[in-house]
Amino acid sequence: MNLRAVLSTAVSSGGLLGVVIVGYSLPAFHAAAPIIADVPGAFDVRTRATWDLPIVRDASVERFVDLLHEQQQDRMAQYLKRSGRYEGMIRGKLRERGLPEDLLYLSMIESGFDPNAQSVASAVGLWQFMAQTARGYGLRIDTYVDERRDPVKSTDAALRYLADLYEEFGSWSLAAAAYNSGGGRVARIMLEETGSVRGRESDFWRIRNRLPAETRAYVPLIYAVALIGKEPHRYGLDRVERLLPIEVEQVEVPGATSLQTVAAAIGLDADDLRELNPHLIQGTTPPGERYPVVIPASRRDQFVHNFG
């Protein structure tokens, strides 16, 4: 179960109430993005954390903060723990592309940083790609391989997708809404409400009540998770021990090679190797082609000696 399971809570919340935007800074890529004053009545609140998304604090965000802090703290602790495995990789790729690093929290609410997460609608992976969108962004999905489950490849695809949505809509809030409910819907509503597909951060709140209930809650949930994730000490989560990232590399093996065979060759538990290769959904490489398997970098010499 991931954090999107809490979207049913407060999805019927009303319009914009008491909006506050937490101060944030934007890299050069976002020079045209809206500033804090873009939301009428907003004022700048400085926290110890730094932000590169325009974090809004309204009644709906605060409800999610309270819900996650008071009723879902164990789940938040689990996801913060998992974040240690993938956060460095995701933030590094966001920096390379000049994208806001706090888009990390979109992945948190989508999957809880579980590469095997699968929704009832068959969205899969860290970024909960539907198959059609995933294939459109170059991910392989077949009987043996589902690259939506590959943390690195799915992150590359998701960041390309998010960058495309930002270019289309001109706002990260609108891009996130489109990520959740589809770009066509958001574009149609924006045209009807503003006369333009591209907008500003305030336009999400302007069109919010015309969006599906889940999408109305989706953006506030991202903000709530970011607020907790950036300052866990404020919410009793400062003692969570994060998983450490694993230094890995790829080694090529013949087609139809089982992960169990590779694990035995490098002296690793087969379950641990499957965890590093969640995209190999049959536990074996596809037949008829050499295919890379992810192993701990520390086991390369054993692989060469025992497998090569």
**pLDDT tens-digit readout, 99-140:** 999 999 999 999 999 999 999 999 999 999 999 999 999 999
Is the sign of the CA dihedral 66, 68, 74, 78 positive or negative?
Answer: negative
Predicted pLDDT at 48 = 59
Q: Evaluate if residue 271 carries a pLDDT over 50.
A: yes
State the pLDDT at residue 10.
38
Rounded to two decimals, the pTM is: 0.86
Paired with 291 in beta bridges are 253
Q: What's the mean pLDDT when you consider all of the chain?
A: 86
The region of weakest confidence among 4-8, 22-26, 251-255 is 22-26
Under the banding of pLDDT at 50, 70 and 90, the label for residue 41 is very low
Q: Beta strand 56-57 with 20-22: parallel, antiparallel or unpaired?
A: antiparallel
Tell me the one-letter amino acid at 174.
Answer: L
| 56: confidence class by pLDDT, cuts 50, 70, 90 | confident
Give residue 45's pLDDT band: very low, low, confident or very high (50, 70, 90). Answer: very low
End-to-end CA distance of the chain: give it in Å, rounded: 40
Average pLDDT over every residue of 3-14: 45
pLDDT grade for 33, boundaries at 50, 70 and 90: very low
Please tell me the predicted confidence (pLDDT) of residue 5.
56
The domain locations on the chain are 3-235, 248-306
Q: Is the pLDDT of residue 82 over 90?
A: yes
Query: What is the per-residue DSSP string for 22-50?
Result: E-----GGGTTS--GGGSTT--EE--SS-
In this prediction, residues 61-73 reach a mean pLDDT of 93
Alpha-carbon distance of 61 to 221, in angstroms, equals 6
Q: Does domain 3-235 have CATH number 1.10.530.10?
A: yes
List Cβ neighbours of 23 (8 Å cut-off, separation of 6 or more): 36, 44, 45, 46, 47, 51
State which amino acid sits at residue 152.
V
Pick the CATH number of 248-306 from 1.20.120, 3.40.1350, 1.20.81, 3.10.350: 3.10.350
Mean pLDDT computed over 204-218: 95
What's the rounded mean pLDDT across residues 93-98? 96
The pLDDT assigned to 34 comes to 29
Q: What percent of the chain has pLDDT over 70?
A: 84
d(CA 26, CA 34): 10
Instruction: Say if residue 46's pLDDT is above 50.
Output: no
Nearest Cα to 234, choosing from 226, 242, 222? 226
Predicted local confidence at residue 193, as pLDDT:
97
167-204 pLDDT, tens digit each: 999 999 999 999 999 999 999 999 999 999 999 999 99
Across the range 49-74, mean pLDDT stands at: 89
Dihedral (C-alpha) 69, 71, 74, 76: value to the nearest 10 degrees? Answer: -40
The pLDDT assigned to 3 comes to 58
